[in-house]
Structure 1
Amino acid sequence: MIDLLGIGILILFGALFAMSEISIAASRKIKLRVMADEGDTKAAAVLRLQEQPGSFFAMIQIALNAIAILGGIIGEQTLTPYTSKLVALVYSGPMAEQISFLLSFLAITSLFILFADLLPKRIAMIMPEAVAAKVVGLMNIITYALTPLVMFFNSITNLVLRIFKMPMVREDVVTTEDIVAMMDAGAEHGSLQQQEYQLLGNVFELEGRTLPTAMTTRDAIVYFDIKDDSETISAKILEHPHNNFLVCDGHLDRVVGSVESKQILRQLLKGESAHLKDSMIQTELFYLPETLTLSEALNEFKTAMQPFAIVVNEYAMIVGLVTLKDLMSSFMGDLVTIHGEEQIVQRDANSWLVDGVTPIVDLMKLLDVDVFPNDNQYETLAGFLIYTLKRLPKRTDYVVHDGYKFEAIDVDGIRVEQLLVTRLNEVTVVTTDDTKLVS
């Protein structure tokens, strides 16, 4: 009876050490840090143990091997008499002793595998942080108690690792791919709502998108000429109610400064004519190169504390204008819909009307297209069409890519205003002619 109790105690200790090993190894540092920040000292202890796990794992292996050896010795002595009696009921030949030993071996092994290994490890894998926080204190005490043996085996292990030039500690570097994988798992499980998932995904895209995907393009910039009369100024404000306007001398490439529309409205409310005075014009302007990513642009806005920036290319030519609102909208996506500014309008289940300046990354998400050819050469859908055709498109020119047809339906001079994107039901053969290219 005492031997059976001893086996039970060994199984319990085996389960404890197995749970400790798996839970501390599988605990996620991100979740542990959150728990530690909330005042959980045990979570902080697990983090410290993960940073230097050598002594802990040495202790675990010493304990598990000792339990396995003791379990085999005690188990054979304890169960063999019982298995001998069972075997004697059906067989009493020369192999009875060997059969009894085999049955006792299988029984004790099965007990240890099931209750000291599989079940505790499954539990530890299901909730690693919670289990690790409960056992870390006891494991530190046992590690300290076995310090001589732990130091001996740990030093030999470290020596082998140095010989083979392998890292001594684990480096937990959380990459973008890791976070995206966690987001996907959260969305699939339902713990992350669709809007939250979309917003987080858009934030990660800030590093992959440049300013031209969010800015107002050069031809759409509304500005005041220094010589504009009251009627012209008033008409521009009524038609384009922006907060700030550029002030130029003759054309857009001769920028004088900027003016807030409320200063002109103040003149009108006083019954005066709208006119541009030197005291109203802000001459210090904020410029950004078009090669900046949206993330870099946000950082620049944070430093400059300006409401908008003029976007210039490498030749110092103005190519667009971007506001902080534009950058915020770029990662808010569909969560904020501004009426009248939709760049993509769905006609039916298989076709969309798309503005030519729509960023390619937005089309990739909408159509679930993984890649566009040489997408580092252009930013917009119109740019994709021009790049693929190798010329300026005309109406009805189209490109087929990845099961979708991209057709120019509205071309104003050299500007592709609008395209029709259609999902094709059949695979189209790649052909080329004078006016159409299918790729």
Structure 2
Amino acid sequence: MDDITTSTLFIILGVLIFISAYFSGSETGMMSVNPYRLKHLSNENNKGAIRVSKLLKRPDRLIGLILIGNNLVNIAASAIATIIGMRLYGDAGIAIATIVLTLIILVFAEVTPKTIAALHPERIAFPSSALLQLLLKIFYPLVWLINCITNSILMLLRINPESHQGHSLSAQELRTVVHEAGALIPEQHQSMLVGVLDLENATVEDIMVPRNEVSGIDINDDWKDIERQLANIQYSRILLYRDNIDDALGFVHPRELMRLSIKEQLTKASLLRAVNDIYFIPEGTQLNTQLLKFQRTKERIGLVVDEYGDIQGLVTLADILEEVVGEFTTDIAEESNEDIMPQPDGSFLIDGSINIRDLNREMNLTLPTDGPKTLNGLILELLEEIPQGRLSIKLAGYPFELINVQDNMIKTVRFMPLLK
């Protein structure tokens, strides 16, 4: 070193600090790359992404290589800085060189490159991966030796680096990713994606039409009454039953009625021949499971039954799809049934039979959905009795006023939105 000039040592020191910055930035860049975008780019044959993916398959080797390189250049830089310090300041130069070099490495070889790499991981990781691949081949024996030692220690801790399977997301984490996507995913698409994830958190009871609201035709009625009902039917499937819904016979498609009317005279007998078998759905079936069952069985409608076989309600494929995409029905009967009616004073009159999930979605509320499925049921559960007249209550922190109670049911409720 005595033959090398001080200026040359400064140049070598600067090069070593630059190399240290490269290793530091490469480490942060490689570890900060979005794994899902990396996989996407790899599938599109992006060469940089493919190189990074290969290196990240064995993170122990990658980290070993980077730390070997980083420590070698930092130790060499420390030795050269000590020589420069002693040449300039004598024995006091050792302390001066230690303090100054520590600050320089922290600022220029650690914090700055790592910050840049964290902000722009792909710009740093993709080009640097080419050099890292080459260095891994050159220093492989040394990397292998160090990995053998470290892996032995990891095995004592019951950690196997070769079992690294990359990143996976739970449903809750994926939901967070969708919400955090911001402008990258339109709000409507975010809602649909979250709706798909939420299907596993709801069952058919949450969206079914309860049995007391299921419309159908009693085949034992007078034929003229049946004809009148058929003429005014507003549904895509017609439920036939005898006397009550518990003795359901099946569904008839209006298209089949038209065919019968054209080919032969429509009678009770021909109407019964047109009935399709009923598709039964066990209560408690998750919506994502039922959606797949509808797809597999080519069904569009089913009756929900409890453990005793009693009919609890009706669910259609459209009901499940609306949980994902929002309401899209154009059914006249549903359009005329306003469950939530805004009032001039800012309050809302709400039908007591409204589904709590629908109410939460429409009014942006957080009423509990793990118990009763309707607003009427939720209020009765709170009161533990049937109210006899008007009553003001707080439900999950929201103010409600009972307006109309009939037939042991809360028919109408007034809701005053909380002032923000």
Sort the TM-score into its range (normalised by shorter chain): 0.7 to 0.9
What's 2:3 paired with? none
Question: Alpha carbons of 1:368 and 1:266: their partners in 2 closer, same or farther (altered >3 Å)?
Answer: closer
Distance 1:225 1:175 in 2: 48
Does the 8 A contact of 1:234 with 1:274 survive in 2? no
Matches within 5 A, 1:123-272: 123-168=116-161, 169-171=163-165, 172-187=167-182, 190-268=183-261, 272=265
Identify which of 110, 115, 125 aligns with 1:117: 110
Identify which of 62, 73, 91 aligns with 2:68: 62
Identify which of 392, 410, 418 aligns with 2:412: 418
Give the drift of 1:234. 3.9
Q: Which runs of 5+ in 1 are unaligned?
A: 85-95, 427-439
Give the drift of 1:376. 2.8
Give the drift of 1:383. 1.9
Give the drift of 1:327. 0.8
What's 1:400 paired with? 394
Deviations 1:122-161 (A, max 9, x none): 1221132443233223212212211221112111211212
Distance 1:294 1:8 in 2: 63
Distance 2:302 2:373 in 1: 19
Q: Number of residue pairs matched? A: 409
Give the drift of 1:354. 2.7
Deviations 1:248-278 (A, max 9, x none): 1222111222211122234556795565516
Matches within 5 A, 1:36-75: 36-75=42-81
Distance 1:121 1:248 in 2: 72
Give the drift of 1:334. 5.9
Distance 1:368 1:279 in 2: 45
Distance 1:60 1:17 in 2: 6
Distance 2:150 2:339 in 1: 61
Q: Which amino acid aligns with 1:113?
A: L
Distance 1:223 1:33 in 2: 53
Bigger Cα displacement from structure 2, 344-353 vs 166-175: 344-353
Distance 2:336 2:180 in 1: 35
What's 1:299 paired with? 292
Distance 2:261 2:389 in 1: 45
State the secondary structure of the residue aligned to 2:350. strand
Q: Which amino acid aligns with 2:32?
A: A
State the secondary structure of the residue aligned to 2:112. helix
Give the drift of 1:390. 1.6
Does the 8 A contact of 2:211 with 2:311 survive in 1? yes
Question: Alpha carbons of 1:63 and 1:407: their partners in 2 closer, same or farther (altered >3 Å)?
Answer: same
State the secondary structure of the residue aligned to 2:244. coil
Does the 8 A contact of 2:386 with 2:408 survive in 1? yes
Distance 2:342 2:316 in 1: 27
What's 2:4 paired with? none
Determine if the alignment matches structure 1 residue 357 to structure 2 residue 363: no
Deviations 1:382-436 (A, max 9, x none): 221121112334442443134312333233413333322224569xxxxxxxxxx
Q: CA RMSD in A?
A: 3.0
Deviations 1:108-129 (A, max 9, x none): 3333222222222112211324
Question: Alpha carbons of 1:55 and 1:165: their partners in 2 closer, same or farther (altered >3 Å)?
Answer: same
Q: Percent identity among equivalent residues? A: 23
Identify which of 376, 379, 384 aligns with 1:382: 376
What's 1:434 paired with? none
Distance 2:366 2:8 in 1: 66
State the secondary structure of the residue aligned to 1:253. strand
Question: Alpha carbons of 1:113 and 1:133: their partners in 2 closer, same or farther (altered >3 Å)?
Answer: same
Does the 8 A contact of 2:279 with 2:301 survive in 1? yes
What's 1:90 paired with? none
Q: Which runs of 5+ in 2 are unaligned?
A: 1-6
Bigger Cα displacement from structure 2, 291-300 vs 393-402: 393-402
Does the 8 A contact of 1:310 with 1:322 survive in 2? yes
Distance 1:79 1:236 in 2: 102
Distance 2:218 2:364 in 1: 44
Does the 8 A contact of 1:17 with 1:60 survive in 2? yes
TM-score (norm: length of structure 1):
0.82
Give the drift of 1:362. 4.1
Question: Alpha carbons of 1:19 and 1:340: their partners in 2 closer, same or farther (altered >3 Å)?
Answer: farther
Question: Alpha carbons of 1:197 and 1:105: their partners in 2 closer, same or farther (altered >3 Å)?
Answer: same
Question: Alpha carbons of 1:162 and 1:363: their partners in 2 closer, same or farther (altered >3 Å)?
Answer: farther
Distance 1:180 1:30 in 2: 15
Distance 2:31 2:344 in 1: 51
Q: Which amino acid aligns with 2:58?
A: Q
Does the 8 A contact of 1:23 with 1:124 survive in 2? yes
What's 1:27 paired with? 33
Give the drift of 1:350. 6.0
Does the 8 A contact of 1:404 with 1:424 survive in 2? yes
Distance 2:264 2:141 in 1: 92
Distance 1:221 1:240 in 2: 13
State the secondary structure of the residue aligned to 1:55. helix
